[in-house]
Structure 1
Amino acid sequence: MNKLKTYFNWSTGKDSALVLYHLMKDKNYSVEHLLTSVNAQHNRVSMHGLRRELLELQLNEIDLPYSTIELPEQPLMQEYEMLMEQEVLSLQQRGFTHAAFGDIFLEDLRTYREQQLSALNIQSVFPLWKRDTKELLTEFIDLGFKSVLVCIKADLLDQEFAGRIIDADFIKDLPSNVDICGENGEFHTFCFDGPVFKNPIPFEIGEKVYREYQTPKTDADSCSSEPLKSNSGFWFCDLLP
């Protein structure tokens, strides 16, 4: 049976790493490209605030072809969708038929992705869909993955959570109103070790910075690479290569 030629929307975080792990073991899919949205003005991964250098170190350790979508500082949804469409059409012309995502339970986000991609003849795949998030994070840790929090919502988590490693103590310390995987956009991570990497990615903890962002025109995405929602405040922990 021919495997389905798939590109994966790589966010640099823990859910992406776990999805990639499962896709690589799935006989139905052939993951041949990784796609990441980057803030071109600051050379950082969108939403996560991760330096481009660390993204590239991470991707080199995965050893798959990749590309980036270069976004302006705070893109309108129309800008984002235009740039995304250009990249997806390029991948489609190279034979890609499927796009995989790390989403778990956000129905509106899944619908948005499916509608956008179906118009380009790309089928969306969600390997973690509807799985229990506590079980997912436990599996992530048990498989030997390691990640650090690089972005947190200031109204939900204390500043000290920025820069923390995800482990058993982290799970115990999370407030009850925060999803254990941060699926509602409560936090974002950088995965620096685990079975999808040839070697761990070295880094040092840098300064913590507080930033606020304006509301975009649409509510389509609150927790991944699309433009940010609401006038929310975020703590970012800068990681140094």
Structure 2
Amino acid sequence: MKNQPFVASWSGGKDSAMAYYRAIQSGMTPKRLLTMFQEDEEVSKSHALPLKVVQAQAARLDIPLMIRGAGWDDYESKFIDAMDECRANGITHGVFGDIDLEGHLEWVQKTCAKSGIVPIHPLWQEPRRSILEDLLAVGFEAVIVVVNTNMMPAEYVGRIFTRQLMDELESLGIDSCGENGEFHTVVIDGPIFSSRVPVTFGEVRENEGYVFLTVSLEA
């Protein structure tokens, strides 16, 4: 994998950050980030991060950011369009943060094949807890910004990701990796960034079974 140019699928959360970190450690060369946004391109899909926050992450990675606004109906076509652009610019590989959900792996493999992009999954089939332990060991800082209240209590939104939190979630029978959509995070510091991402956290809002923590850049 040494020196292979890649585009990173970037949610702004812990799994995409760890996959990016592992790819760098293996000698691959980052060329672009791709973040999928809602149709209005104001906040990211799933993690609901404002564009300025994702741009601030990208600036601290010193990597160009690509975004695509999409609904669920045209998500795949917009994703393939972005992969086509990467391939046209000499990027041969894509790095993804999936861990063990076969459906996610198959979707990535299928869509990347249409653009001639080779998908790489640095976290694939590693025990979930092992990934989280490594996340903290190498110095990442992540905060829970979205909680699916059908799967875990709303009061976990805003919590900093720690071993204590992992133990607490697991004691309640909640997957501490959130791989099944229990929660999403934003990464605000870590070994891949040139400096800490200067964010502030505001009000909590609810929508259709989810709670969202407002994230913005410091003024």
Common topology (TM > 0.5): yes
Partner of 1:17: 17
Which structure 1 residue ranges, 4+ long, deviate > 4 Å from structure 2?
A: none
Q: How far apart in 2 are the matches of 1:43 and 1:96?
A: 27
- Quote the offset at 1:135 in angstroms: 1.1
Q: How far apart in 1 are the matches of 2:144 and 2:24?
A: 25
Q: How far apart in 1 are the matches of 2:119 and 2:26?
A: 16
The partner residue of 1:237 within 205, 213, 218 is 213
* TM-score of the two chains, using structure 2 as the length reference: 0.93
Matches within 5 A, 1:17-166: 17-27=17-27, 29-41=28-40, 43-71=42-70, 75-77=71-73, 79-166=74-161
- Quote the offset at 1:40 in angstroms: 4.1
Structure 1 unpaired stretches of 5+: 213-232
Q: How far apart in 2 are the matches of 1:15 and 1:119?
A: 24
Structure 2 unpaired stretches of 5+: none
One-letter identity of the residue aligned with 1:116: T
One-letter identity of the residue aligned with 2:142: S
Structural RMSD (CA): 1.5
One-letter identity of the residue aligned with 1:157: M
Partner of 1:224: none
Greater RCO, CA 8 A, separation 6+: 1
Q: How far apart in 2 are the matches of 1:124 and 1:158?
A: 35
The partner residue of 1:189 within 155, 176, 185 is 185
- Quote the offset at 1:116 in angstroms: 1.4
- Quote the offset at 1:2 in angstroms: 6.7
- Quote the offset at 1:42 in angstroms: 6.1
SS at match of 2:119: strand
Q: How far apart in 2 are the matches of 1:184 and 1:111?
A: 16
Partner of 1:205: 201
